[in-house]
Structure 1
Amino acid sequence: MEPRNHGLKLMERNLVSLPVSSTTSEMEPNGTFSNNRNCTIENFKREFYPIVYLIIFVLGALGNGFSVYVFLQPYKKSTSVNVFMLNLAISDLLFTTTLPFRAHYYFRGSNWIFGDLACRIVSYSLYVNMYTSIYFLTVLSVVRFLATVHPFRLLHVTTIRSAWILCGIIWIFFMASSSVLLKTGSDIKGNITLCLELNPQKRDKLLIMNHVALVIGFLLPFFTLSICYLLIIRVLLKEEIPELSLRASHKKALITIIIALIIFLLCFLPYHTLRTLHLITWHMDSCGDGLHKAVVITLSLAAANCCINPFLYYFAGENFKNRLKTIFRKNHLQKTKTKCNFPICG
């Protein structure tokens, strides 16, 4: 009986030494429990996520923080476009504040030290940011399109009051619909604490959540954006626009939709495609390193949308460049006054 007991102890010891990340991360299984000891996904996440998240944090915080500052500066004329862009920048700025926590978590080998509440908020913030960003970009493109094709017929839709109401609806809807993620927090496994993880036994529930988010959160806005692009191209090809102001309006509308499409195709489409594929094909005993790593990369691309949005504000924002010039002019005047306070200026 002794050899048998010795064998059982060895098996128990081997099971304890297997990777503890036996869960699906957020909506995608970034780490899996596998008998294959050659899986490299955990090491890849530890090396890839911290660097990428910190780069996104620096660029996103600087770009969106400065954009919010510019949008909040008093100016003689404000538009609904600025309202949507301001809300988009605020969403991105709030999300970037969670990225250092994510970087720290993966740098420590998927070990969370910031408490259960912070874990829930960090997981929740990713999806609130992603889907509010998708809808702000879509609504922004639709408003640009309507203002170009039907500038007088739909003036009530593009008022500042209507823009704030619509932004409020978008915030409330996605904050409420994503609140299910607040129900799952950190999970203690041995001597480490997991976060951003969901139990693999909830895979069926995850699939339903994924399909709903895929259709409502991505496909519907993506098709809307594509239709706007095709229609505005059709308008630009059919009509000659003699007035300079109208040409500028059409140009800004086209730039807005093109940048939004680039963000969709680069950041959101790969992530939603691979997330869905991964959830459908994933099972406990497979390693799937190639697909796992692809999901990690596309999740980072989805997070990186907050670094691209400031380009949208600069190239397609209403009076954004003029606001920038005003800010720089004020700073220059203040520096001049400061220098002239010295006796040499007298």
Structure 2
Amino acid sequence: MRKLIFFFLVLVLCLSGTLQNKGESEVIEPQKNSEVFARPRTFKGVPVRNANLSLVPNGTQALIPELQSLSNSTVWYLHSTLSTLVIPIIFLLVVVVGIPANIAILCSLATKIRKVSSAIFYCSLAVSDLCLLLSLFFKAHYHFHGNHWVLGEASCRVVTACFYGNLYCSAQTLACISIKRYLAVVHPFLYKRLPKRRLTAWVSLVIWGVFGAAMIPELLVQQSYHLPEVGITTCHDVLPLDYDSHIFLLCYNLFLNIFGLLLPLVVTVLCFIRIICELNQSHFDWEMYIKASSLVFVIFLVCFTPAGVLHFLHYLQLFVHGTERLYVHFKVAVCLCCLHACLDPFLFLLMSKSAGSSLHFRPFTGKTLSISI
């Protein structure tokens, strides 16, 4: 499974690089403006003051804001095979595998609950993955139609908020699972005294509440814009530079990226290293626990790390050079990030197997402490 995942990652990244180089070789570099603007997690566009009336899906006319002065890299991406074929196909494959798997996990949790505190985290993770997978239906439809959004501004805002909000929610939940196992292995006496059911329930509610509230700006800001130069209406891919609301998204999304992806990555890596070191010093066979902890680490390494790092570097490039070339690679990384929705059910299976036995510790008094995780 690991070899297959890494091969798939390398294949898609190589494909994206090849396609991008090909597209850039066919166009002329845009002229650099003397003034550099901060840009959100998108390509840039200049607002058209006198926008025309455009048709919306119900057949009526509505005023859709227009953007112009697109860069050559933006035009290439919007028409490339990468964005109109490769990315939506991956989305659909993730949906086909992920939705049945996560529904099966929820059914299993409803009928066979061995440990309530762990089941709360697994249930939260499965629900978050399902919400993400449902948003992928609409994103695949958008990409297959040439990056043309026909479902209206309200649905664009909801899909965008649901997509990114559940990415952050899943990453935070996986980090909490790592912390829980870290406490059980490294600090068993403290873990034994904790009110685990109440604590995990509150932590899950806080995660959902925080990232539900964190997505409110995405719901309040215009996300879909008509591009007369290419004849399509994009959703979140191209945003204006002159609006204060969209400039605010730059710092805001950068904070969410650090707090929602990079921080959980650091926490998971530290917990993984400490757990492995602790279990390797024991004379017992902890192979199942090591496999479960390793899978959490692999999910972050393969899925969340490229998206988090490229997102951060994308902003740095915008600040330093005022260019947006990393956005294409970021879109590929976000696409790969969705693969975690297919890997999380396997994590539940490994956790369930390891929950059947207990960890045994011998304190200095000679008594044995048994803990199930």
TM range (shorter): 0.7 to 0.9
Structure (1/2) with the larger strand percentage: 2
Gaps of 5+ in 1: 1-23, 242-246, 322-346
SS in 1 for 2:283: coil
Indicate whether 1:64 and 2:102 are aligned: yes
Indicate whether 1:160 and 2:177 are aligned: no
Structure with more contact order per residue of length (Cα contacts < 8 Å, sep ≥ 6) = 1
Equivalent residue, structure 2, for 1:338? none
Q: After alignment, is 254-263 or 122-131 more displaced? A: 254-263
1:279-318 counterparts in 2 under 5 A? 279-282=315-318, 288=325, 291-317=326-352
Equivalent residue, structure 2, for 1:78? 115
Query: Which of the numbers 33, 36, 43 marks the counterpart of 1:29?
Result: 43
Indicate whether 1:210 and 2:210 are aligned: no
What amino acid is the match of 2:199?
S
Normalised to the residue count of structure 1, the TM-score between the two structures is: 0.74
Normalised to the residue count of structure 2, the TM-score between the two structures is: 0.69
1:1-346 counterparts in 2 under 5 A? 27-29=41-43, 34=70, 36=72, 40-42=76-78, 43=80, 44-75=82-113, 77-157=114-194, 159-184=196-221, 185-190=223-228, 192-197=232-237, 199-201=239-241, 204-241=247-284, 247=285, 250-282=286-318, 288=325, 291-317=326-352
Note the C-alpha offset of 1:49: 2.1
Q: Distance in 2 between matches of 1:307 and 1:85?
A: 14
Gaps of 5+ in 2: 1-37, 46-67, 357-373
Q: Distance in 1 between matches of 2:106 and 2:279?
A: 32
Note the C-alpha offset of 1:37: 8.2
Q: After alignment, is 78-87 or 129-138 more displaced? A: 78-87
Q: Distance in 1 between matches of 2:106 and 2:147?
A: 33
What amino acid is the match of 2:339?
A
Q: Distance in 2 between matches of 1:218 and 1:118?
A: 25
Q: After alignment, is 198-207 or 222-231 more displaced? A: 198-207
Deviations 1:129-166 (A, max 9, x none): 11111111011111112122333432353622221111
Q: Distance in 1 between matches of 2:206 and 2:193?
A: 17
Does the aligned pair in 1 maintain the 2:43–2:74 contact within 8 Å? no
Note the C-alpha offset of 1:113: 1.8
SS in 1 for 2:233: strand
Note the C-alpha offset of 1:38: 9.9
Note the C-alpha offset of 1:39: 5.3
Does the aligned pair in 2 maintain the 1:28–1:278 contact within 8 Å? no
Q: Distance in 1 between matches of 2:71 and 2:164?
A: 31
Deviations 1:81-103 (A, max 9, x none): 12101110110011111111111
Structure (1/2) with the larger helix percentage: 1
Aligned CA distance change for structure 1 residues 79 and 285 (closer, same or farther; 3 Å): closer
Q: Distance in 1 between matches of 2:127 and 2:186?
A: 29
Pairs aligned (count): 289
SS in 1 for 2:268: helix
Does the aligned pair in 2 maintain the 1:92–1:306 contact within 8 Å? yes
Q: Distance in 2 between matches of 1:224 and 1:214?
A: 14
Note the C-alpha offset of 1:61: 0.7
Aligned CA distance change for structure 1 residues 198 and 254 (closer, same or farther; 3 Å): same
Deviations 1:204-241 (A, max 9, x none): 43431233123212232222212212211221232323
The CA RMSD measured in Å over matched residues stands at: 3.1
Q: Distance in 1 between matches of 2:141 and 2:200?
A: 37
Q: Which has the larger radius of gyration?
A: 1
SS in 1 for 2:149: coil
Note the C-alpha offset of 1:25: 10
Q: After alignment, is 296-305 or 39-48 more displaced? A: 39-48
Does the aligned pair in 2 maintain the 1:207–1:280 contact within 8 Å? no
Does the aligned pair in 2 maintain the 1:113–1:193 contact within 8 Å? yes
Q: Distance in 1 between matches of 2:116 and 2:304?
A: 27
Q: After alignment, is 53-62 or 223-232 more displaced? A: 223-232
Note the C-alpha offset of 1:315: 1.4
Aligned CA distance change for structure 1 residues 38 and 313 (closer, same or farther; 3 Å): closer
* Percentage identity across paired residues of the two chains: 27
Q: Distance in 2 between matches of 1:296 and 1:231?
A: 33
Equivalent residue, structure 2, for 1:341? none
Note the C-alpha offset of 1:123: 0.1
Note the C-alpha offset of 1:33: 5.1
Aligned CA distance change for structure 1 residues 47 and 300 (closer, same or farther; 3 Å): same
SS in 2 for 1:317: helix
Note the C-alpha offset of 1:114: 1.7
